Every structure is written in C-alpha cells, then in structure tokens.
Structure 1
Amino acid sequence: MSYNFIIDSYAWIEYFIGSKEGAVAKAYIEEEESATPSIVVAEISRKLLYEISAGRETVEGRENKLDFMKISTLIVDLTEEIARLAGEIDVERRKTVKGWGMADSIILATARKGGAKIVTGDKHFMDLKGEIIPINAEEPGVTASRELQ
C-alpha cells in the first residue's frame, strides 16, 4: 500500500462544494497515489447526513459522493499500528493545539505511517509545515464548516 497524499475532511468538503480551495484539492484527489483515512469517510458521511436533514443534500447525492471517495483514492483502514501511533500523537498535540481531536490524530498517524503529506486547510494542522499541503494559502487557519451544495 503506497500513497503520497492524504486527503482530509476539510479538503473533501471544499472539493464537493466546488470552492477555490476545492480546486486546489482536486489535483491531489485525482493523483493516483492519494489516500483517504477511513475516519475521514466517517466524518464526510456524518456531514452529508446533516446536509440531508437540512435539505441541502439528497440520499443519492450522499451515496455518490461516498462512492466517489472510494474510487478516487485508496481508503486506508485504521490498523492497530496506526491506532497506537494516533494515541501517542493525540497526547502530544492536545498539549499545544486547542480543539485537536482524535480524528486529527488518526489522520496525522496515517500520513506519517505512509510517509505522505496531508492535503488540508484545517487550522489544527497548520503548524506542521513539512507534513501538509495547505489548500488555503490565502486564508490560513480557516476551518471547513461550510455547507455542501
């Protein structure tokens, strides 16, 4: 299993809404050696369910987006090795990064395990300069909370 880029939830959300940041993420999503951690699939699935309940997404649209994630990138499952590393990362990052969550730790552990860079605009990762590819260079530190269209 080889991958150079990890696509995080922020990048997927921006891609699906068709934003400028999403256009930057698109180049990495379409790269053959890109991957998505399974925790990101769960986060996007949850986000799309909220969008359905708000009337901004359809059940079919949700399924199409989740299927697209699977065919566009390698889905990396949470292994014991990644989980152990994520636990270590979580303890360290929570000391210095407000709002850091276990999903962030799993994403970072997946990237480190694979020797990959995280394609993101999430402010929680912005201090990891050598480990990320920021898609929001004009707006550093912005969090993805926008609506899917």
Structure 2
Amino acid sequence: MVDSSGWLEYVTDDTKAEDFAPYIEAQNLVFVPTIVLYEVYKRLWLAQGKTVADRFASQALRKRVVPLDEDLALSAARVSLDCRLAMADAIIYATAQRFQAQLITSDPHFQSLPGVTLV
C-alpha cells in the first residue's frame, strides 16, 4: 500500500517515481485509503491544476479504495496514541495494518514502524 508521499512522487514523475511505480502499477490488489485520495488530490490541484488531480483520481479509483469506517477510525486513534503519528499518517498506517499490507512510503514519520518499507 503506497501512502500519499509515494503517489505524489509517482504522479509528478519526481525523483522516486520509478521506485514507487511497481507498487502502484501492480496487477494484484492495491489499497488506497480515502485520506490518501484527499491529500494527493488536493496537493495536485493546488500545485499542478485540476487536470493532473483528475488524472490521479482516475487512476487511484481503479484500485481498492478503503473508506474510513468506525473500526478503522478507532484503530487509527490507537495507532496515533501508541506511535505518536498525526491523524492522516495514523489512518494510513492503520489501514495497512488492517489488510496486513506493507506500507510503502518516503515519509520518515513511519521509519521505525513494523510493516513499513522506506523508499
């Protein structure tokens, strides 16, 4: 599961885009938390405009989008307290844990957590 930092690298063809590509382009199940949709869409719209943001949304919505339900919200709150993560990061990490998915990121906030691959 790729977090917002990875999607931004990939969509903008930034320096680590090729590192994230295999995880995003994988033919197997790719999870996208709704908070990632929000963060990436907003940042892309502000930095590069609606067309680029819509292109991202079109691609991300073809993956398995995971909504924030009650159980996930409570899990994320516990993760936030235990790991001292901000809300969005806690939701992303809790989503990865729910599906026993490896979290692929370039965000140093996750570096010491199990189940995380730092790119």
Q: Structure 1-normalised TM-score?
A: 0.74
Q: CA RMSD in A?
A: 1.2
- For residue 106 of structure 1, report the CA deviation from its aligned partner: 0.3
Q: Unpaired segments of 5 or more residues in structure 2?
A: none
**Which residue is equivalent to 1:143?**
none
**Which residue is equivalent to 2:118?**
134
Q: Secondary structure at the match of 1:7?
A: coil
CA distance in 1, matches of 2:56, 2:99: 25
Contact 2:76 2:90 in 1 (8 A): yes
- Counterpart residue identity of residue 117, structure 2: I
- For residue 22 of structure 1, report the CA deviation from its aligned partner: 1.4
**Which residue is equivalent to 1:146?**
none
Radius of gyration: which is bigger? 1
CA distance in 1, matches of 2:45, 2:50: 8
CA distance in 2, matches of 1:58, 1:104: 25
- Identity percentage over the alignment? 28
| Distance 1:76-1:103 versus aligned 2 partners, 3 A rule | same
Q: Unpaired segments of 5 or more residues in structure 1?
A: 1-5, 52-56, 95-99, 136-149
Deviation string, structure 1 residues 39-89 (Cα, Å, up to 9, x no partner)? 0000012102321xxxxx232222111111112x21111111111100111
State the 4+ residue runs in structure 1 displaced beyond 2 angstroms.
none
- For residue 7 of structure 1, report the CA deviation from its aligned partner: 1.3
Matches within 5 A, 1:1-149: 6-31=1-26, 32-51=28-47, 57-71=48-62, 73-94=63-84, 100-128=85-113, 130-135=114-119
CA distance in 2, matches of 1:12, 1:20: 12
- Counterpart residue identity of residue 23, structure 2: Y
